[in-house]
Amino acid sequence: MLLPSFQHRSVKLSAIVAAIILLFVAGITLTTLCGRDRVLVAGTTGYTITGKFAVRGTPKIPKKFARAVKSRSKAITLWGSWVGAAQNTGTLISPAFQAPPILGAFVAGWGNASGNYLAVQRVDSGEQLQLKLGNVGERWKELHWIMPRTWQGQLVQLIAVDANQDVVGWLGISSPLQISFLHLLSSQLSSLGLFPLCLISFVGFILPGLLIANLLIHRYRLSMAFTLILAIAVSSFISYLAFWVYFFNPNLGIVFSVIVLLTSMLSLVTLHRRQLLMPLLKSPDFIWSSSLMFAVSLAYTATLYLIDPGISPEILAQTRFLEGFPPDNILPKLFADKLFHGKDPRPLLNDWLSSDRPPLQTGIFLLQYPLNRIIKLSSGWHYQVLGTIVQCAWVAAVWALCRTMRLLGSQIAIVLSFAIFSGFFLFNSVYVWPKLLAGSLVILGFTLLVRSLYEYRRPFTWEIALAAGAIALGMLAHTGVIFTLPAMLLLILRPQGLPSFRQTVIGVVILGLLLIPWSCYQKFYEPPADRLAKWHIAGVTEPDSRSFSQALWDSYRHLSPSQIVSNKWENLKLLVVTPANANDLTTILGVKPESSVEKRLKEFTHVFRGLGILNFGWLVLLIALLLKMQKKLIEMNVVKPILSVSLLSLLVWVFVSFGPATTSIHQGSYTTMILLFVGWAGVLAISLPPWICYILLSAQTFAFIINWLVATSISFTSYLIVAPNIFMLALMLLSLFAMVRIFQLVSLKQHQFNY
């Protein structure tokens, strides 16, 4: 028995040694090929200048950035187009130099503003490659680009163009640099801090609610599968309290955060004394779901920062996968920043009010804000990491739902894999508007209620109470989940499961206790807070002084019945395809040739395209119904309430949204999207042999990698993106390996689950 084990360890050790040797050889080779660090064009002579470009032609930039440039080399010259005013325009062309394997430059200003760009141009052919960069702002940031093999050694020129006349439209650029491979690595070394930051943020988010969640699990004999998502819900409630404490007094808020942190650490002692800690740590449900949620968060964050064009860490998600997204993802941070520093949050940003969006994610960030000060980290970096972890609460919610459905371990792995390797979950986990958090909390409420349906009974009072609390917290994260609530209400209004009057009162009171304080903030502190409701339901996109009911009445009374029907029909079509392409079957099925950008945008927009290959579930279900495959249909009974609620929610959304064509995924309920993923993945996992599921999953994963990872991380013939972060790539691959290993354990040791 010892020999196979010894041989297995020897193979592992040999593989590790071989990998280390391979990496060492690759490092030596790349170091030799890339050459040493040097300034390719020293001094200021030989430059061609048109318009307003000058040495040090920038507004006041903190001296620490200039010192950082000079520490690299005193021969570096800094140019800028801000010569007295940002509205100035101009062009700067460097003398010719030999293109290095890795080109570097310090950039500043707004390189991504309309009309501005940076490029390299071959002297012999005039061919240009645009150098992708972000809006760095008023600082100097060193960026690197890997030159195409056919360009290396050729004479090229660096071209900087400022054709933007906006107030913030200037561009700064340094002398071109040759970058050594060792310098590239050293410049990326700080990214290794992502892992400990993720770990600290994850523990800081989960730990405050873990004790109460564990006590609830044992008090009501819930499955351990609920531990993680319940801990998230309790932590969210504590964060909601933190928001109010900071709102009334930021100093008290800091004290509250410290008390919560210390109490959370002491809660581990309490769990140990109650002999609950070791069972928790030995629970496959808690360990695997927690490890998976952390691995997904780390992988998604590393994917986001794999390509960093120099912009602020919390803003990168606005351009990383899809161009030109609004600052919705940073609104909770802006709100938290103002409260923490004791500033009036009115108005929040431009014409957006602090009351336009609920405060839960603001509270979550505020609870950890003092920790950010202790470790002296960029608040934007911390916010993005924590925000991604918070959005990945969907992993815990889906885990609890799958376990409640009594899926096998291998089936749970399939369902979660379809979700993890999808553009919908990647994008909405890193673009941290709190829609996935809201959806996850409402999924908890749904799962607690659907238990009674599976067990043919009325919901227990405690299930009603916990579900009401989870739903209220979801509403306090983002109100878009409201489109799922009518369908969920029908779930409990069935004859055999109708709640008693007492249960109804308890649920309503809990909802009121959580929602009324925020409603008062909206009504009395910063009214009217109805912009989003007017936008989606009344079709009024610009702020106005009318009440929501008046705006709704005015909008509908100007429409004829046929126009109203047409609007709803366009809403329905948008779930599948852009209405203009509704008659093009190749576009509907996604087989028409499209660029990767178009594919990503359609996955973001259309429910049908967002689900991807899971739409095969429709076909599988139809075949089972037509062929009367009773055994399969009985096995699929567990997905009936999930699909029923999600499909009914879509109809509610189509009917309530004003239209026409206002049912883009991001305008609806993410609870519905999570249910659709679980429902259709469940249909495939239950009804098909595993090998077919793996083929379908492989196809989706391949498309995901090509469209969302490769296409957004490599250079094309017309432009160069910045050099990828090697350490982020390593973290991404290690996280992927961890996920695969967890799924192996879940599939192989599914007998350890206790239902």
The CATH homologous superfamily to which domain 38-184 belongs is EmbC, C-terminal domain, subdomain 2 (2.60.120.940)
Q: Quick: pLDDT tens for 466-500.
A: 999 999 999 999 999 999 999 998 877 777 778 88
- Burial (CB < 10 A; 0-12, 13-18, 19+), residue 145, is buried
pTM of the model: 0.93
Q: Is the pLDDT of residue 162 over 90?
A: yes
Q: Is the pLDDT of residue 54 over 60?
A: yes
What distance in Å separates the CA atoms of residue 459 and residue 11, rounded to the nearest whole number? 53
Determine the pLDDT at residue 147. Answer: 92
Q: Is the pLDDT of residue 6 over 60?
A: no
Partners of 117 in beta bridges: 161
Closest CA to 476 of 507, 446, 521, 531: 521
Q: Which tokens hold the place of 3?
A: 């020999």
Give whole-number Cα distances, 480 to 172, 439, 447, 673, 752, in Å: 41, 9, 19, 12, 38
- CA 376, 380, 384, 389 dihedral sign is positive
Cα torsion through 63, 65, 71, 76, rounded to 10: -100
Which residues touch 95 (CB under 8 Å, ≥6 apart)? 41, 45, 46, 47, 157
Q: What residue has token string 């390593």?
A: 730
What distance in Å separates the CA atoms of residue 733 and residue 26, rounded to the nearest whole number? 18
- H/E element holding 208? helix 194-219
Q: What is the mean pLDDT of the chain?
A: 90
Q: What residue has token string 């919901």?
A: 459
Which residues touch 542 (CB under 8 Å, ≥6 apart)? none
Cα torsion through 484, 490, 493, 499, rounded to 10: -10
Q: Which tokens hold the place of 514?
A: 């959580």
What distance in Å separates the CA atoms of residue 697 and residue 608, rounded to the nearest whole number? 17
Does residue 370 have a cis peptide bond before it, meaning omega lies within 30 degrees of 0? no
What distance in Å separates the CA atoms of residue 485 and residue 505, rounded to the nearest whole number? 17
Which residues touch 175 (CB under 8 Å, ≥6 apart)? 39, 40, 41, 42, 75, 76, 77, 94, 105
Considering only residues 255 and 61, tell me which one the structure prediction assigns the higher pLDDT.
Answer: 255
Instruction: Look up residue 650 and give its amino acid.
Output: L
Closest CA to 667 of 605, 623, 625: 605
Q: Do 209 and 261 meet the contact criterion of CB atoms below 8 Å apart?
A: no
Which residues touch 669 (CB under 8 Å, ≥6 apart)? 439, 442, 480, 481, 482, 483, 484, 649, 653
Partners of 48 in beta bridges: 93
What distance in Å separates the CA atoms of residue 145 and residue 130, rounded to the nearest whole number? 11
What distance in Å separates the CA atoms of residue 549 and residue 532, rounded to the nearest whole number? 13
Q: Quick: pLDDT tens for 659-683.
A: 899 999 999 999 999 999 999 999 9
**Average pLDDT for 738-751:** 84
What distance in Å separates the CA atoms of residue 408 and residue 531, rounded to the nearest whole number? 45
Considering only residues 52 and 684, tell me which one the structure prediction assigns the higher pLDDT.
Answer: 684
Give whole-number Cα distances, 115 to 55, 118, 629, in Å: 21, 10, 61
Q: Do 304 and 320 meet the contact criterion of CB atoms below 8 Å apart?
A: yes
Maximum average pLDDT range among 285-299, 531-545, 586-600: 285-299
What distance in Å separates the CA atoms of residue 558 and residue 569, rounded to the nearest whole number? 18
Q: Is the pLDDT of residue 514 over 90?
A: yes
Determine the pLDDT at residue 11. Answer: 67
Q: Which of 591-595, 602-606, 619-623 has the lowest mean pLDDT?
A: 591-595
Percent of the chain with pLDDT over 90: 66
Determine the pLDDT at residue 582. Answer: 55
Q: Quick: pLDDT tens for 209-239.
A: 999 999 999 999 999 999 999 999 999 999 9
Q: Which tokens hold the place of 286?
A: 């808690």
Q: Quick: pLDDT tens for 707-722.
A: 999 998 887 767 888 9
What distance in Å separates the CA atoms of residue 134 and residue 316, rounded to the nearest whole number? 9
Q: Which of 384-393, 509-518, 571-580 has the lowest mean pLDDT?
A: 571-580
| Reported confidence tier of residue 732, pLDDT bands at 50, 70, 90 | very high
> Domain extents for the chain?
38-184, 195-538, 548-726
- Burial (CB < 10 A; 0-12, 13-18, 19+), residue 87, is middle
**Kindly report the CA angle at 707 between 701 and 708, in degrees rounded to 5?**
80
- DSSP codes joined into one string, 626-640: HTT-HHHHHHGGGGH
What distance in Å separates the CA atoms of residue 246 and residue 367, rounded to the nearest whole number? 9
Determine the pLDDT at residue 751. Answer: 47
Instruction: Look up residue 27 and give its amino acid.
Output: G
